Copies of this chain bind each other. A is one copy, B any other.
Amino acid sequence: MSAANTGVPSPLDTALPSPVPSEEHERCPVAGVLRRIGDKWTVLVIVLLGQRPHRFNELHRGIEGISQRMLTRTLRGLEEDGLVNREVFATVPPSVRYSLTPLGRSLLSPLSALATWAVENQSAIAASRRAGSVRAGG
């Protein structure tokens, strides 16, 4: 009962100003962000980098299950959006340090809010999912 129809304007309302066609997801910044961080690995990388900078193989080992290819793609995507910084050191062997940019760090707060919600309600969701029939009477 916080962001519902209490009369207060919500930033969520920017999602649907009107049923205008839209050429992109310009109509809904939230949807854009969700699509960006809603893939399989991105949020894991962000969280890990939110703790401290990591090297490539540190991330690779830390995430467990991600392939080199997907880690690279994920990092490139984050870098392109200015959320992650990439520093190459010409050492032997070479090393690359990934860290969150200020923009990336600023995402941690809203992400944390979502994490809190997820932790508190995951059991409710799981229970509802197990109920299966999706019907009231049960």
Contact = CB atoms under 8 A, between A and B. Distances in A.
A128 B80 contact: yes
Q: Quick one: copies of this chain in the complex?
A: 2
B107 A117 contact: yes
Contact of A112 (B11, B109, B124): B11
Interface string A33-71: 111011110011001101110000000011111000000
Interface residues of A, number: 76
A125 interface: yes
Given A40-B35, A134-B76, A134-B80, A16 B128 contact: no
Interface in A116-138: 116-119, 121-122, 124-125, 127-129, 131-132, 134, 136
A105 B44 CA distance: 26
A106 interface: yes
A interface secondary structure, majority? helix
A40 to B, nearest CB: 7
Interface of A: 1-5, 10-16, 19-22, 28-35, 37-40, 43-44, 47-48, 50-52, 61-65, 76, 79-83, 85-86, 100, 103, 105-119, 121-122, 124-125, 127-129, 131-132, 134, 136
